[in-house]
Structure 1
Amino acid sequence: MNDFRVRDVDVVVIGAGQAGLSVAYHLRRAGLVPDRDFVVLDHAPRPGGAWQFRWPGLTYGKVHGMHSLPGMELTDADGSRPSSEVVGDYFAAYEDAFELRVRRPVEVAAVREGAAGRLRVETSQGVWSTRAVVNATGTWDRPFWPRYPGQETFLGRQLHTSGYRGPQEFTGRRVVVVGGGASGTQHLMEIAEVAEATTWVTRRPPVFREGPFDAEQGRAAVARVEERVREGLPPQSVVAVTGLPVNDAIRAARAEGVLDRLPMFDRITPDGVAWDDGRTVAADRILWATGFRAAIDHLSPLKLREPGGGIRMEGTRAARDERIHLVGYGPSASTIGANRAGRTAVRDIGRLLERVPAPV
């Protein structure tokens, strides 16, 4: 850390994606002043949250379910522009409009117990002492790489979707795409247009969903994720329990056989993947579309995790510590969920600040 001053604030918000900006907006509406009463710390180089790292081929017109931030609509977006640019520009304008004064790039190393019942937030830009922390770090920084026998022997290239920059590097290659989520299917369909051959592998048969996802189904999906976090289990994403929405591109890919799925292989060989029944597939590339885990290691000193591996939640609040809120975690890991969670967290933090006065 290059600044050893300890600065006092009421609330530290960690992360400036959809969830973090929603929290900052509601803190401002509650009368708290940026840089005096609360601070927003973001490790990314520029506005946009995880959106700024999306691959160029994901244009805004291909994005499903992007909800505007509270208080300022995203209007007249050019669907042909990369989503990273559209959302990055929108987030930047939002930060300016509400004078949120996001500090970046700031790496948060640890959140610890501080003096007089406060929390100590240790960062690359110094230390903040605070009465409450809102963690809005999402999952992008923790891509999940499964381990399979023989993985280290593979002579081709393995990469995670977090490092995907477009289909061009797969031109003329034999590619195995692992994972049944939306990113896996989107990448697979792009890659299939330029690759010599593609193979789609998933642990479970994919569930394709025809028609709109109604409100009752949405509530049921969120409830399943909420139940896990109430039990202290690692959360699933809401998207993981809703199935894959079918559009014209999905229909065409299924008709062409691009989305013919194989069960998960048993091992990786130097030149591909293999199953115990004797089946093999040759490959030059393996793309792991296997999702992400919550980026919460900096909270480890507070010992919030339950034996099941997750943080038990009561609403947005960590059950073991009312000073810690997590937004964009579990049931709020969607753009609309993050907006709602931001409002809920600020309401509960307001009650905490009223009940526990700041030290003189």
Structure 2
Amino acid sequence: MNYTGVRDIEVMVIGAGQAGLAAAFHLRRVGYRPDRDFVVLDHSPRPGGAWQFRWPTLTYDKVHGMHALPGMELTGTDPRRPSSEVIGGYFASYERAFELRVHRPVSVTAVREGVGGRLLVETSHGDYAPRAVVNATGTWDRPFWPRFPGQEAFRGRQLHSAQYEGPEAFRGARVVVVGGGTSAVQQLMEIAPVAAGTTWVTRRPPVFRAGPFGETEGRAAVALVEERVRQGLPPRSVVSVTGLPMTEAVRRARESGVLTRLPLFSRVTPTGVAWADGRTVDAEVILYATGFRAAIDHLAPLKLREPGGGIRMEGTRALRDPRIHLVGYGPSASTVGANRAGRAAVRDIRRLLAGEPSAPAAGDPGLPDSGLVSASVVSGGPA
């Protein structure tokens, strides 16, 4: 696909993860035709969203609450297969079944004001002039790297959890794992049996969640994330306010001492890390499981951000530009929330394109039907 001119379309969907596919499904369901009325672009090499990049030892049985895409259940899955294969295959089948015609790999470099009330979407494969944009770019492309004094002098290896490929790379090494999210816990539990030693450090004491996590708890967690978005602050992940699930594996790891947590160190030394009180830990590897930030730099020309750094929204609609809808962002950053956000965005876009006033947001589109708000976010939040 290579266009020499600017192509007019009704709706552009940027990103083909859970949120983008859900939005594309609802566009098609209400009569928009793929590649004619709407186009879906994805810069990843194959179907699967961020799941295709997950480490091979993250098997499907370790995924907490993966919620099906609208209109097609995920069934008959071998729980021992890598989640990247399971969900990648599921997304590929979904794209085929609903003929969504996702174009990949295509990178979107900028979204800016166009002419005649349209937007201009600049991409690596030509430019488009949509009347509305559904942005579903997630967070995978923006891993958050914390900064500490002395990092540049560390003699060992430093990597982010996004680069984690399994425990074998840590065999026989002393490893410091930084981060209090699910990825930190999962990767630490894999590394500990093969490493010479592990140290877990987090910015705040981790909270482990025991017992059921129902709709009431889910609504409360989403409300905390939604409030930050309402204030124009960068969103935290929904997972960061739900706590860590207390599985049997986690319980055993806590009992064995693997999940004994230390507060965050103050500096990195050439041979490890050090605290202000004089304590030191030697290490050959530092693994930063410190989460991700929203990948929305391509929207910068539209000046959607508030002074606090976030984008204020009503439902999925950006308050500074009603043509822009963000799905899988903030309160809808879960597989359940992404489905609902995709539906809500399409409903609002239809009204916009028909010249009707936008309806007030009927609650939070990220609110889960079943309370599984932690769903797809297996990478930890901030340390």
TM-score interval, normalised by the smaller of the two chains? over 0.9
2:217 is equivalent to residue 214 of structure 1: no
Task: Write the deviation string for residues 73-121 of structure 1: whole angstroms up to 9, x where unpaired.
Answer: 0011110100000000000000000000000000000001001010000
In structure 2, give the amino acid aligned to 1:118: R
Secondary structure, in 3 states, of the residue corresponding to 2:116?
helix
2:350 is equivalent to residue 350 of structure 1: yes
Structure 2 partner of 1:66: 66
1:307 CA displacement: 0.2
1:1-360 matched pairs, under 5 angstroms = 3-355=3-355
1:214 CA displacement: 1.3
1:3 CA displacement: 3.8
Secondary structure, in 3 states, of the residue corresponding to 1:16?
coil
In structure 2, give the amino acid aligned to 1:4: T
Secondary structure, in 3 states, of the residue corresponding to 1:75?
coil
Number of aligned positions between the proteins: 356
1:5 CA displacement: 1.8
In structure 2, give the amino acid aligned to 1:343: R
Counterpart CA distance in 2 for 1:193 and 1:7 is: 55
Say what the alpha-carbon RMSD is for the aligned residues. 0.9
Counterpart CA distance in 2 for 1:5 and 1:59 is: 44
In structure 1, give the amino acid aligned to 2:307: P
Secondary structure, in 3 states, of the residue corresponding to 1:293?
coil
Structure 2 CA distance for partners of 1:263 and 1:332, relative to 1, 3 Å: same
Counterpart CA distance in 2 for 1:269 and 1:224 is: 37
Counterpart CA distance in 1 for 2:235 and 2:32 is: 31
Counterpart CA distance in 2 for 1:45 and 1:67 is: 23
Question: Gaps (5+ residues) in structure 2?
Answer: 357-383
Task: Write the deviation string for residues 235-264 of structure 1: whole angstroms up to 9, x where unpaired.
Answer: 000000000010110011001000000000
1:212 CA displacement: 1.6
Counterpart CA distance in 1 for 2:232 and 2:76 is: 41
1:2 CA displacement: 6.0
In structure 1, give the amino acid aligned to 2:66: M
Counterpart CA distance in 1 for 2:135 and 2:259 is: 37
Counterpart CA distance in 2 for 1:246 and 1:27 is: 38
1:49 CA displacement: 0.2
Counterpart CA distance in 1 for 2:151 and 2:291 is: 18
Counterpart CA distance in 1 for 2:350 and 2:128 is: 19
In structure 1, give the amino acid aligned to 2:58: L
TM-score (normalised: structure 2): 0.92
In structure 2, give the amino acid aligned to 1:65: G
Extract structure 1 runs of 4+ deviating beyond 6 A.
none
1:65 CA displacement: 1.0
Counterpart CA distance in 1 for 2:30 and 2:8 is: 19
TM-score (normalised: structure 1): 0.98
Counterpart CA distance in 1 for 2:227 and 2:218 is: 14
Counterpart CA distance in 2 for 1:136 and 1:212 is: 30
Counterpart CA distance in 2 for 1:62 and 1:103 is: 30
Secondary structure, in 3 states, of the residue corresponding to 2:132?
strand
